[in-house]
């Protein structure tokens, strides 16, 4: 398994869909997401991630949540931007999976910011 160059870092994401997260990159290819929207009351979980690095500061971060939600982030570090493609169970859609996309700013943060 490839190592995660973001390990030990945290980031904030504010998607155009209204979803907002703090992402903490943990050891052993783990990621903790925490919603920072008031209405989500700090919902959080830890996921095992697959991490890939591409030329130009582009990264792919992917995981499958316990609920079956599949998440894929494409992070453009030089431009502080992320696009996300997710799928979740919905019998009314092709293959029983509904797609959902959103995008927005991605910023690394420190504990003091």
**Does residue 63 fall inside a structural domain?**
yes
**Does residue 39 fall inside a structural domain?**
yes
Give the domain range for residue 39: 9-109
DSSP 49-78: -EEEEETTTEEEEEEE-TTS-EEEEEEETT
State whether the Cα torsion 34-15-26-7 is positive or negative: negative
| Number of domains present in the structure of the chain | 1
Higher pLDDT, 105 or 2: 105
CATH number, domain of 70, equals: 2.40.128.20
76-113 pLDDT, tens digit per residue, is: 999 999 999 999 999 999 899 999 999 999 999 976 55
For the record, the structure tokens of 96 come out as 């029983």
**DSSP label of 2:** -
**Does residue 51 fall inside a structural domain?**
yes
pTM of the model: 0.89
């Amino acid at each position: 398994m490839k190592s995660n160059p973001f390990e030990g870092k945290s980031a904030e994401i504010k998607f155009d869909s209204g979803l907002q997260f703090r992402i903490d990159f943990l050891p052993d290819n783990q990621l903790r997401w925490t919603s920072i929207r008031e209405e989500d009351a700090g919902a959080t979980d830890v996921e095992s991630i697959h991490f890939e690095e591409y030329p130009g500061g582009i990264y792919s971060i992917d995981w499958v949540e316990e609920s079956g939600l599949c998440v894929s982030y494409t992070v453009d570090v030089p431009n502080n931007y992320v696009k996300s493609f997710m799928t979740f169970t919905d019998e009314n859609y092709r293959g029983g999976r509904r797609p959902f996309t959103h995008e927005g700013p991605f910023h690394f943060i420190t504990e003091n910011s």
